[in-house]
Chain A
Amino acid sequence: MPNIISIKNLSKTYASGFRALKGINLDIKRGEIFALLGPNGAGKTTLIGITCGILQPTGGSVTVDGHDIINDFRAARSLIGLVPQELHTDAFESVWATVNFSRGLFNKPKNPAYVEKILRSLSLWDKKDSRIMTLSGGMKRRVLIAKALSHEPQVLFLDEPTAGVDVELRKDMWQVVRELRDAGVTIILTTHYIEEAQDMADRVGIINKGEIILVEEKAELMHKLGKKHLTLYLQQKLDVLPPALAAHALTLSPDGTELIFSYDTQAERTGVTRMLAAVGDAGIRFKDLQTQQSSLEDIFVGLVSDRS
């Protein structure tokens, strides 16, 4: 079975009557890193909450490795580790106690060596005897990650794991995530730092207002929607684009000092050479040039704003 999670027609209406999920269909492949992106309130946390057993679905079904999350909840939940978005911690417990508590909850025998390894990989080892309330926000976030990893999950949900974590530790954290992926763990993450998704994810799903609007291989997505722009900074201002250049995908900036050429990097022929030759033939000289690739963020913003 290639899909480890299969979500079918999942809907969620909160007690307030608010429809947070409207018939979600989504498959997560075994061993991938899946980035779930969407603006605030899109339904990411709701989707994760239902899959993990924290919220009750209104309709539809979810299976984890073939186990239904309701009828076969023990098998389904045993496979899942969750790092929640909110920093919910037991203030008075020590780091060591709380991580071992999680392991017990998931019915795993004690394994101090394994817990030590996790704490070390998250730079928490020297804090193991500290009470959680004495830790900083970023440290608490890492404690939550340690708790989620304590029971050796097959699937890891990271709901905004890097919020409030500094740059250095964020790198370490992604290193941990990569190692987990290499060890075969499936990872589903949400983040508002889109460049992180761009770096990490194998596939990207975009959710907006309770609906999945796109699921795509990241590479494919970048390919399909990723445009590159070549900007020529002109030596002399142009008033209008010379007719000789009309055949090329060129636009003149409003102030007349830049020519912008948009092209698809993945295409067989990008047309850069022909365009440059044509520009030279037209007697236009430029002092500098720059190319720019549209990021996942541009794609994301484009898609989400289209729909709203």
Chain B
Amino acid sequence: MNFRAIQAIYYFEMSRTARTIWQSIVSPVLSTSLYFVVFGAAIGSRITEIEGIAYGAFIVPGLIMLTLLTQSTMNASFGIYFPRFTGTIYEILSAPISGIEIACGYVGAAATKSIILGLIILATSWIFVPLHIAHPFWMLTYLVLTAVTFSLLGFIIGIWAEGFEQLQIIPLLIITPLTFLGGTFYSIGVLPPFWQKIALFNPVVYLISGFRWSFFEVADVGHGISIAMTLLFLVICLAAVWWIFRTGYKLKK
């Protein structure tokens, strides 16, 4: 293993984050806080409790997931797409590093950033609503697994994309809607039975449900199923990355 190379890429990416702190940390935290104010305080006060939990608290895990998913994908996809766009990828390709090591560097940095963001949002939400985390271990497990999985997905998108538009299209057209429909703001139990069945095809439902369970011990689907689905998604992304590097897909002409 070329650990120094992984480290070099990781620090490179983290210093990019530090350089763009307003865009990468401050703005997502701010926009999530706006959701708290609008949905938690303003509208939430008129909504009755969901499964015994105040609405303001109920949406916290969903909002953290929303940020985690979109930021992981956006950040990781940009991280690898940008050197492809500017041509500096030549150096990565000519260095003695394997594809897996390249992925470790980029995905590791993107995931770290998302985890930091998730924790900041969690801390911020404490200002707005009283929170109790029933299973801190599982909470962190979901946080890390989701950050890594969606950073991998972002990495794949960054390799696939042929322009800045394509880079944005998957987060905007797929991930954001799936997150909103996946129970960020409601329990899928409130949906009509038919739509509940449809919702189960949405992978984000499992992530949010499991994550919310680690806070409040209430879930749309069983915790075991949630964790299994999260791991399955991780494995699919890992396999895709492995395949990309094995075939040189889009990285090497």
Contact A147 B91 (CB under 8 A): yes
Using Cβ atoms and an 8 Å threshold, which residues of chain A touch B252?
Answer: 54-56
Query: Which of B4, B12, B253 meets A107, CB within 8 Å?
Result: B4
Query: Which of B12, B95, B253 meets A15, CB within 8 Å?
Result: B253
Question: Which residues between 55 and 100 of chain A lie within 8 Å of chain B, taking CB atoms?
Answer: 55-56, 73-78, 80, 82, 84, 86, 88-93, 97
Using Cβ atoms and an 8 Å threshold, which residues of chain B touch A97?
Answer: 15
Contact A55 B94 (CB under 8 A): no
Specify the chain A residue showing the minimal Cβ separation from B8.
Answer: A104
CA–CA, A105 and B93, complex, Å: 10
Chain B: minimal CB distance from A193 (Å):
23
Q: A14-B253, A105-B5, A108-B4 are in contact. Are A74 and B96 (CB under 8 A)?
A: yes
Q: A77-B96, A80-B94, A108-B4 are in contact. Are A90 and B88 (CB under 8 A)?
A: yes
Contact B12 A88 (CB under 8 A): no
Contact B86 A77 (CB under 8 A): no
CA–CA, A84 and B92, complex, Å: 13
Tell me if A112 is interfacial: C-beta within 8 Å of chain B: no
Query: Which of B97, B98, B248 meets A105, CB within 8 Å?
Result: B97
Tell me if A102 is interfacial: C-beta within 8 Å of chain B: yes
CA–CA, A101 and B95, complex, Å: 11
Specify the chain B residue showing the minimal Cβ separation from A84.
Answer: B90
Question: Which residues between 95 and 136 of chain B lie within 8 Å of chain A, taking CB atoms?
Answer: 95-98
Using Cβ atoms and an 8 Å threshold, which residues of chain B touch A108?
Answer: 4
Q: A74-B2, A86-B87, A88-B86 are in contact. Are A52 and B94 (CB under 8 A)?
A: yes
Contact A56 B248 (CB under 8 A): yes
Using Cβ atoms and an 8 Å threshold, which residues of chain B touch A88?
Answer: 86-88, 90-91
Tell me if A41 is interfacial: C-beta within 8 Å of chain B: no
In which size bucket is the chain A interface? 20 to 34
Contact A82 B90 (CB under 8 A): yes
CA–CA, A147 and B12, complex, Å: 15
Using Cβ atoms and an 8 Å threshold, which residues of chain B touch A91?
Answer: 86
Tell me if B46 is interfacial: C-beta within 8 Å of chain A: no
Contact A105 B92 (CB under 8 A): yes
Question: Which residues between 70 and 95 of chain B lie within 8 Å of chain A, taking CB atoms?
Answer: 83, 86-88, 90-95
Q: A14-B253, A56-B253 are in contact. Are A104 and B94 (CB under 8 A)?
A: no
Using Cβ atoms and an 8 Å threshold, which residues of chain B touch A55?
Answer: 252-253
Using Cβ atoms and an 8 Å threshold, which residues of chain A touch B253?
Answer: 14-15, 55-56
Chain B: minimal CB distance from A125 (Å):
22
Specify the chain B residue showing the minimal Cβ separation from A79.
Answer: B96
Specify the chain B residue showing the minimal Cβ separation from A151.
Answer: B95
Contact B90 A107 (CB under 8 A): no
Contact A53 B93 (CB under 8 A): yes
CA–CA, A154 and B5, complex, Å: 19
Tell me if A286 is interfacial: C-beta within 8 Å of chain B: no
Tell me if A106 is interfacial: C-beta within 8 Å of chain B: yes
Tell me if B32 is interfacial: C-beta within 8 Å of chain A: no
Contact A104 B7 (CB under 8 A): yes
Q: Mark each residue of chain B from 1 to 25: 1 if its CB lies under 8 Å from any CB of chain A, else 0.
A: 0111101110010011001000000
Contact B96 A78 (CB under 8 A): yes
CA–CA, A77 and B94, complex, Å: 6
Tell me if A2 is interfacial: C-beta within 8 Å of chain B: no
Using Cβ atoms and an 8 Å threshold, which residues of chain B touch A82?
Answer: 90-91, 94
Tell me if A109 is interfacial: C-beta within 8 Å of chain B: yes
Specify the chain A residue showing the minimal Cβ separation from B1.
Answer: A107
Using Cβ atoms and an 8 Å threshold, which residues of chain B touch A84?
Answer: 87, 90
Query: Which of B5, B83, B87, B98 meets A106, CB within 8 Å?
Result: B5
Q: A54-B90, A74-B96 are in contact. List 13 more A-B contacts (CB 8 A).
A: A14-B253, A53-B94, A55-B252, A56-B248, A84-B87, A84-B90, A88-B88, A89-B88, A93-B12, A104-B7, A104-B8, A105-B2, A147-B91
A-B contact pairs, 30 of them (CB 8 A): A15-B253, A53-B93, A54-B90, A54-B93, A54-B94, A55-B252, A56-B248, A56-B253, A74-B98, A78-B96, A82-B90, A84-B87, A86-B87, A88-B86, A88-B91, A89-B86, A89-B88, A90-B83, A91-B86, A102-B95, A103-B8, A104-B4, A104-B7, A105-B4, A105-B91, A105-B92, A105-B97, A106-B95, A107-B3, A109-B4
Please name the 5 residue pairs, one residue from A and one from B, whose CB atoms are nearest each other, closest first.
Answer: A104-B8, A88-B87, A105-B95, A74-B96, A77-B96
